[in-house]
A = this chain, B = another copy of it.
Amino acid sequence: MGGDDAPQSVVSGARLAAQRGIPIVLVGQPDKLFDAADFEVIAASQAIAMEAEAAASVRKLKDSSLVRAAEAVRDGRACAIVSAGNTGAAMAASMLRMGRIRGVSRPAIATPIIVPGRAWPNVLLDAGANAECSAEWLVQFAQMGAVYCRDRWGVAEPRVGLLSNGEEAGKGSPLVKKAFSLLEDGAWQERAGAAFAGNVEGRNLLEDLVDVIVTDGFTGNVALKTAEGVAKQLIGALVGAFDSSEDARRGARLLMPALAPVYEEFSPDSVGGAILLGVAGVSIISHGASSPVALANAIQVAYELAQRDTVGSLGRIFSPK
Contact = CB atoms under 8 A, between A and B. Distances in A.
Interface string A221-251: 1111111111111111110111011011011
Interface string A187-230: 00000000000000111111100000000111101111111111
A172 interface: yes
| Most interface-central of A219, A235, A245 (chain B CB within 10 A) | A219
Interface stretch (A18-26, A60-68, A72-80, A258-266): A258-266
A231 B229 contact: no
A238 B226 contact: no
A132 interface: yes
A3 interface: no
Nearest to A241: B258
A163 interface: yes
A252 B257 CA distance: 12
Interface string A156-182: 000000011110000111101000000
Contacts of A37: none
The count of identical subunits is: 2
A200 B155 CA distance: 36
Contact of A248 (B171, B227, B238, B258): B258
A227 B230 contact: yes
In which size bucket is the chain A interface?
35 or more
Nearest to A261: B241
A291 to B, nearest CB: 20
- Pick from A165, A238, A241, A256 the residue with the most CB of B within 10 Å: A165
Contact of A131 (B172, B202, B228): B172
Given A223-B222, A225-B203, A231-B234, A217 B165 contact: yes
Contact of A173 (B131, B229, B266): B131
A172 B132 CA distance: 8
Given A218-B173, A241-B261, A226 B255 contact: no
Contacts of A308: none
Given A202-B221, A206-B233, A219-B222, 19 more contacts: A116-B236, A116-B237, A131-B171, A131-B172, A165-B217, A165-B222, A201-B222, A202-B222, A226-B227, A227-B227, A237-B262, A241-B259, A241-B262, A242-B255, A245-B257, A247-B258, A248-B257, A251-B255, A251-B256
